[in-house]
Amino acid sequence: MSPVRNVRNWLDERFKWDDLVAPLRKKTVPRHRLSYWYFLGGITLFLFVIQVLTGILLLLYYRPGANEAFESVQYIMTQVQFGWLIRSIHSWSANLMIFTAFAHMFSVLFLKAYRKPRELTWVSGVILLFLVMGFGFSGYLLPWNTLAFFATKVGTEITGQVPVIGKPLMILLRGGEEVTGATLTRFFGFHVAVLPGLATLLILVHLLLVQRLGMSVPPKLEMEWGANPSAKREMKFFPNFALRELMAWYIALGVLGALAAIFPWNLGVKADPFAPAPAGIKPEWYFLFMFQTLKLIPPKVWFIDGEILGVLAFGLVGLLWVLLPFFESDDPSRGKRWITGLAIFALAYVTGMSVYGHLAK
């Protein structure tokens, strides 16, 4: 008997392993011309795992504190063996993860994969996207450089605009009235404990739902396959789909390595709270569409403060976005066209405003 089989038998006797992996053996993935969109969720998960691993390695040297954070990151970049690689991969992977999470969300939207019975998968996924953006916001401050300091100042100020809860929320985030070392340690706590805990829990729920419900098929194809079951094409999840996913992960790893080696993540200049804010300060690219929108809203709209109106509008849109599947028809033949139109508009708006915000002075 081979050693692998020995181990498998040993596990089976103790955990009923075969029963546990039996659904995976039976699990299939629909095969059609849009199947490659299924890889995006897996790539996002892969990048999250990279984040956790590189984050743990960075924790070995990183010191949260206004007097030590910048120096410790500088030490990681210059003195620690392969420290530059770990930090650059962590930073690039964070950005790629947010990008793939957005791409995954829009692919789900355009393929109408959020329809019944996958509403909760969508809800958990959108909340995960918000959490990922929270990771980005909290992690951006940790190197304690000038750009991060002032971007955090602006970002938390916008939070303070929310009526009633805004000011206490801003003080909670900052650990006081101003962005100080207390904000840094607080953001560090969010970044390495609170958000990872919540994200891991939600990822488990999200994956469980995906496993229970299987992969969605676009409505048109679903109807075709319903009318002609012999036309239905599938592949086994393991090993066929899993190997393809593995290829996608390798490609993602190659892209990450190339970015980290050719464009190591910049360290910037240490934050000086007493220095004036650099001209044209902007948030990270994934917040640009919101930032630019807030900039374009007039100071007063009717009798309401423009910025407050903008923040409230984004809050409302975010809530409706989470609840979007509940507006969709259960019947695949009667899909709501306005949701597809809204998805096109949202994609165009986010892309357009981000580019505009990037180019604007």
List residues near another protein by CB under 8 A: 74, 77-78, 84-85, 235, 239-240, 243-244, 246-247, 250-251, 253-254, 257-258, 261-267
For another protein, give the closer residue by CB, 8 or 244: 244
Which segments within the chain are labelled E, that is strand?
28-30, 234-236, 300-301, 304-305
For another protein, give the closer residue by CB, 180 or 240: 240
For another protein, give the closer residue by CB, 223 or 267: 267
- The answer to whether residues 27 and 238 touch, using CB atoms and an 8 Å cutoff, is yes
Q: How far apart are CA 115 and CA 120, in angstroms?
A: 10
In the complex, least distance from residue 229 CB atom to another protein, rounded to whole angstroms: 21
Place of tokens 């508009």: 345
In the complex, least distance from residue 256 CB atom to another protein, rounded to whole angstroms: 10
Expressed in percent and rounded to 5, the helix, strand and coil fractions of the chain are 75, 5, 25
CA atoms within 13 A of residue 145's CA, in its CB half-sphere: 13
For another protein, give the closer residue by CB, 63 or 295: 63
Q: How far apart are CA 46 and CA 108, in angstroms?
A: 18
DSSP state letters, 230-249: GG--EEEIIIIIHHHHHHHH
For another protein, give the closer residue by CB, 62 or 289: 62
In the complex, least distance from residue 261 CB atom to another protein, rounded to whole angstroms: 4
In the complex, least distance from residue 270 CB atom to another protein, rounded to whole angstroms: 9
In the complex, least distance from residue 142 CB atom to another protein, rounded to whole angstroms: 17
Which among 77, 74, 99 has a CA at the least distance from the CA of 86? 77
Task: Show the tokens assigned to 194.
Answer: 């609170």
* C-beta atoms surrounding 338 within 10 Å: 10
For another protein, give the closer residue by CB, 77 or 192: 77
In the complex, least distance from residue 242 CB atom to another protein, rounded to whole angstroms: 10
